[in-house]
Structure 1
């Protein structure tokens, strides 16, 4: 499904360094290093908007580069250590532009030609020489930095070179470029969040103290805006929904879901009635109108009102529409859980899914933990078509309606939990595992059996010790390294479970 809103592409600054005295001494060196930096810039464009300054070879040029990066509002600066340069050329760049800094120590060749190498040839390969000097200078200036080491990864050898520079298949190049890709993708998260509007509809489930959060605290630490919404806002949208919109939603539902039959094993799980499906689709159309009118990027929702009230009927149709919105880049978190809406949004920005879940039950035979919820579900990471079931009641909540039953497709999986510490700081909790082909219950809830690296009891002991919010987002792939970079760029502490 096409997203309702696109995530922001990160703005990436790139410059290469050298020593001005070299250019007259070693003909062709400057042009050779420039060719390397163009290669890096071109490859980076797959993941972000790249602003390539060129060579910085004097302290004065460093100041110009810093101002230039500021004017372009970059999210991240890569310094390509192309050859030796004094640290006085580099420090001004990062004193002026405060974007996070990453040094690229990418040697063009796996091994120099020892017999024929000249000084000029060596200078094209001595990328590591000045990195310790840069690290020392930035450390003493109180400027954080990161370093990526490895091979440049060319698929050809420049004519000027005396060594083999075809290194794109070597593990050192593959690993380095995976790190570069992760940093760039991670930089898209804070940029997108700073332009995001999170809707908060209704209230937080009464008594779930772990989920209560301070809207100002969330904006202060991530840049997102919280738009407080009322059920009457959604009701106003509902009254404007046309029959054509309902039919369109019905077509979406029939394409994306399998409609269940009655389930003898659970008397509250039934085949959805035509009236239930119609109502869910009408509400889904209203939910999309709400997102468009308030320009929302995510939504946390829950409603608890008087039994039998008209808003109770309205919320009974929530899960289908919120699953459709989640599939279209507008993550929706139930029970008013804003922190998990944030976790889901981070996963969605990175293209890894992000499905709303909590611990369902432990399977001690398979040594898996089932993670899931009564909805919503991220359809893009589903194992086959999710199933719609009619629910005679929602356990622990008022009302009844249509629920989504699904599991995440088997394979590598990473959970992302956003919690809040006692001092009011956000914290990310990350754990990698594997979604298995194991069985799930047929009760109208989303469930995925996940095998973590440790026995379930050991894993839960470690997880609970981090004081998590009881919900988390499930993402596909092993993304711990990526999520840690997001945490670093947001200035949020990250705990990774082993």
Structure 2
């Protein structure tokens, strides 16, 4: 099983003015080379399609059609020198991919004593940007800008000044922003080719969990495959003893097997029977994922009278944690919106663990976040612990659960909710995971310290009408998540 993470298809062009080329020898070629440098900057993250120079309305129309043929997800407009907005606007009227205007000056300072008009024109990329933004705005075309230095590691022979700027902060920050846009575009492309499984149903009565499948596909592009427990059972009955042995080996590699909890009588050392059952269910889960080509799963099953399906779901958490670590995030209680948050985090390589508010610690000034469901093992602070559960609180059944916390350091919460208008909305919040004692009851838990006190933070979070689940990622990723929201045209708020 291989996680589906698709590279974005990114278009680039350099904008200039055709009448300059006969007047200033070498200027056109110099600017094209600058554009190629930008392509090299992102080639590890994207499929790059560089049209080259756009310098009049004819080449602008041709570029727009060419980018359509290449099915690009994002276009970088490299402002090489002055250009007329009428040359560039047709590109974005013909092609609807989001546009990012790059104003990247080759040098931090011109050599004023010897600089000619032709030399100056190679450094005046900022000059036409207001004209272009005005035209795009009046045409109803959204845009963003990145300003800074080009970041060359050698100076072109034609230049009259030092253009080696890769070590300067203005170049590093510009490159960072450009790469973030490319990664955000990769999220969009990946979601457009993703299949989310919805297994079973929602937890009855959790109104915030309920999702409109058509709305999810309309706003993200991902397909929702509705699955029943019998679809999982089809794989379950095919599991062999060899499959179970291999999965048990994987479980022992990933997890620490607990003893009895010192505080919770319901949390015991998992029995061999429980571990074998969880391994068998985990094999079936992976087989189902392969059969239906799933990239994420939202699940919940409410069974009665200890029926077979209820017994199967008692092994869900271990297998779904393993799947989450392999790039198939799994969210409990039928929470499709948080499965989306988790998938976004995973595509970006920053984790994405299933969380809710556990409690507030007013002594440490933290909010404890976690859940009794799947955990993203790859962002664990040490080996997660498996505990046998006598009962899943508030739910039917029993089984094995994961107890862990997220690695210490910067973290970012990504919540996906739905507005009263029926649109998705991202709620983004940065904090710090700190090492403090957690409950030994078989739940994942992490102490998070925010920039404000817990009560002030919760005031802000609750006022955004969130769902009660969210995805926790590692690193400070607010700017990155904002770019994903822009690529998906989803409303967002940062608190």
CA shift at 1:396, angstroms? 0.7
Match of 2:273 in 1: 275
Secondary structure of 1:20's counterpart equals coil
CA shift at 1:180, angstroms? 0.4
> Structure 1 stretches of 5 or more lacking a match?
none
Question: Take 2:24 and 2:370, find their aligned partners in 1: how far apart are those partners?
Answer: 63
Match of 2:243 in 1: 245
Match of 1:315 in 2: 313
TM-score by length of 2: 0.99
CA shift at 1:77, angstroms? 0.4
Match of 1:49 in 2: 47
CA RMSD of aligned residues (A): 0.8
Question: Take 2:436 and 2:22, find their aligned partners in 1: how far apart are those partners?
Answer: 67
Say if 1:4 and 1:330, in contact at 8 Å, map to a contact too. no
Matches within 5 A, 1:201-350: 201-350=199-348
Per-residue CA deviation, residues 381-415 of structure 1 (Å, 9 max, x unaligned), is 11011111111111111111110011000000000
CA shift at 1:5, angstroms? 2.6
Per-residue CA deviation, residues 157-184 of structure 1 (Å, 9 max, x unaligned), is 1111111111112111111111101111
Match of 2:369 in 1: 371
Per-residue CA deviation, residues 254-275 of structure 1 (Å, 9 max, x unaligned), is 1111111112311111111111
Question: Take 2:216 and 2:139, find their aligned partners in 1: how far apart are those partners?
Answer: 30
Question: Take 1:375 and 1:16, find their aligned partners in 2: how far apart are those partners?
Answer: 49
Say if 2:41 and 2:175, in contact at 8 Å, map to a contact too. no
Question: Take 2:124 and 2:420, find their aligned partners in 1: how far apart are those partners?
Answer: 48
Secondary structure of 1:91's counterpart equals helix
Find out whether 1:414 has 2:412 as its counterpart: yes
Question: Take 1:469 and 1:301, find their aligned partners in 2: how far apart are those partners?
Answer: 16
Post-superposition, which runs of at least 4 consecutive aligned residues in structure 1 deviate over 3 A? Answer: none
Question: Take 2:342 and 2:82, find their aligned partners in 1: how far apart are those partners?
Answer: 43
Say if 1:307 and 1:398, in contact at 8 Å, map to a contact too. no
Secondary structure of 1:430's counterpart equals strand
Match of 1:177 in 2: 175
Say if 1:333 and 1:376, in contact at 8 Å, map to a contact too. yes
Q: Which has the larger displacement, 23-32 or 327-336? A: 23-32
Match of 1:443 in 2: 441
Say if 2:4 and 2:295, in contact at 8 Å, map to a contact too. no
Match of 1:356 in 2: 354
CA shift at 1:343, angstroms? 0.6
> Structure 2 stretches of 5 or more lacking a match?
none
Match of 2:452 in 1: 454
Question: Take 1:232 and 1:466, find their aligned partners in 2: how far apart are those partners?
Answer: 38
Match of 1:487 in 2: 485
Match of 1:140 in 2: 138
Match of 2:383 in 1: 385
Find out whether 1:101 has 2:99 as its counterpart: yes
TM-score by length of 1: 0.98
CA shift at 1:367, angstroms? 0.4
Match of 2:196 in 1: 198
